[in-house]
Amino acid sequence: MKTRRHGSGGQTLVIFTLVLVTLLGAMALCTDVAVLYFNWAQLQKAADAAAVAGAHYLPDDTSTATSTAYTYANYDGVPASQVLSVTFGNANTTITVQLRRTVNLFFARVLGFLNTPVTVQATAMIQPAGGTNGIFPIGLSCTGSDPTQDCGCTDTTTNGVSTTTCTLHYGMLSGAPGNWEPLAIGGNGANDLRNNIAYGYSGTTYIGQGVSLPTEPGNIVGPIAQGMETRLGDSAYSNGPPSVVPLSNAELNDSRLVVVPMVNYTSANGKTEVPVMGFAEMWISSFDPGTDNINVYFLGTVDPNAIPGGGTPNGTTPSGVTLIE
């Protein structure tokens, strides 16, 4: 009996050793798989943002589309050396960004695998837009629908010409804990906010008076500054427009002209939804990242349904960007 028990214990030890080795191997495999998945997710996020940003310059300016794709990939931690290609198709209405990164493995090294490439790609397409398009994602804080009365704007007269100036502020809201004035239009996070700052919201979700929009809480001044750099870099004007309305055709199609939602932040507390009181057409006169202020001229209120595409000025054909792959 003693001999039998001794033999049984030896068998158990062998079985336990085999199971332990198997478990350790499985854990090692899971670790390497997790590392690969993390890198894939980071690359895919960067590829999506790069393709969407680049598509805004199609079909006419593939050079700027390419450089913009590289810039936005870099914003997400992907250096130029990991941008495998930026290509265009369908008469330059699509842009495909392909990224590749070599990921070092850990436990798989015992099997002879030192590293493996991770490749992703994203394709975005420019096409006629429907719904509301071109909305700037920082609200003008208002308690009503009249910017000259309800939004803290200032009327001034210079050389007999009257102008109204307002300030879009993206710092902490007074009396609204945890809230900053950026709006999460079409999605949350730095990528969506950066793109909406640079180009305006280009989705097809209806945004109208009385609709509530989600706030984008948190201090994300970096993406805002990057988006503003892109928007102002696309402008043909280093200063504000002539202080007369209407603007010229060139100014009506300039990137400094934005449609801003007038938003009541009174009840904002943490991440929440805030009501839209109306829309204002604004000209960005200056941007001061040191004070979290974007200074604008108020040009008039806007009915987004009355403008082709819900936000494109001067009767031009609106276009939107869609991520298709």
- Quick check: 318 and 257 in contact, CB under 8 A? no
**Rounded CA gap, 177 and 156, in Å?**
33
Distance, CA of 55 to CA of 42 (rounded, Å): 20
* pLDDT category of residue 207 using cuts at 50, 70 and 90: low
10 Å Cβ neighbour count for 54?
30
Residues 6+ apart with CB under 8 A from 223: 75, 190, 191, 193, 194, 197
**What is d(CA 200, CA 241) in angstroms, rounded to the nearest whole number?**
20
In tens, the pLDDT along 115-173 reads 889 999 999 887 654 334 468 999 898 888 887 788 889 888 766 667 888 988 886 66
Q: Which residue has 């393709």 as its token pair?
A: 51
pLDDT of residue 298: 87
Would you say 139 and 265 are in contact if contact means Cβ atoms under 8 Å apart?
yes
**What pLDDT, on a 0 to 100 scale, did the predictor assign at position 258?**
87
Residue 189 has pLDDT above 70, yes or no: yes
Three-class SS of residue 324?
coil
The 10s digit of each residue's pLDDT in 290-325 is 778 898 888 888 765 544 333 333 333 445 567 777
Q: What is the pLDDT of residues 226-239, one digit of tens each?
A: 999 999 988 888 76
pLDDT at position 95 over 90: yes
Which residues sit opposite 40 in a β-bridge? none
d(CA 220, CA 192): 12
For residues 46 and 51, give the distance between their C-alpha atoms in angstroms, rounded to a whole number: 9
What is 62-112 written as a DSSP string? HHHHHHHHHHHHHHTT--GGGEEEEEEETTTTEEEEEEEEEEE-SGGGGGT
Higher pLDDT, 183 or 10: 183
Top-confidence residue, 199 or 161: 199
Q: What is the pLDDT of residue 239?
A: 66
Per residue in 237-293, pLDDT (tens digit) is: 876 665 655 676 667 778 888 888 888 888 777 678 888 888 888 889 888 887 788
**9 Cβ partners below 8 Å, 6+ apart?**
none
pLDDT of 268: 73
pLDDT value at position 314?
35
CB-based contacts of 129, cutoff 8 Å, min separation 6 = 202, 204, 309, 310, 318, 319, 320
pTM beyond 0.95: the answer is: no
Say what the pLDDT of residue 127 is: 64
Question: Can you tell me the distance from the alpha carbon of 258 to that of 255, in angstroms, rounded to the nearest whole number?
Answer: 7
Amino acid sitting at position 38: F
Between CA 288 and CA 36 the distance in angstroms is: 40
Mean pLDDT confidence for 204-212: 66
Which residue has better confidence, 159 or 80? 80
Q: How far apart are CA 48 and CA 152, in angstroms?
A: 38
The pLDDT, as a whole number, for residue 243 is 60
Digit-coded pLDDT (tens) for 14-63:
665 666 556 555 666 677 788 888 999 999 989 998 998 898 888 889 99
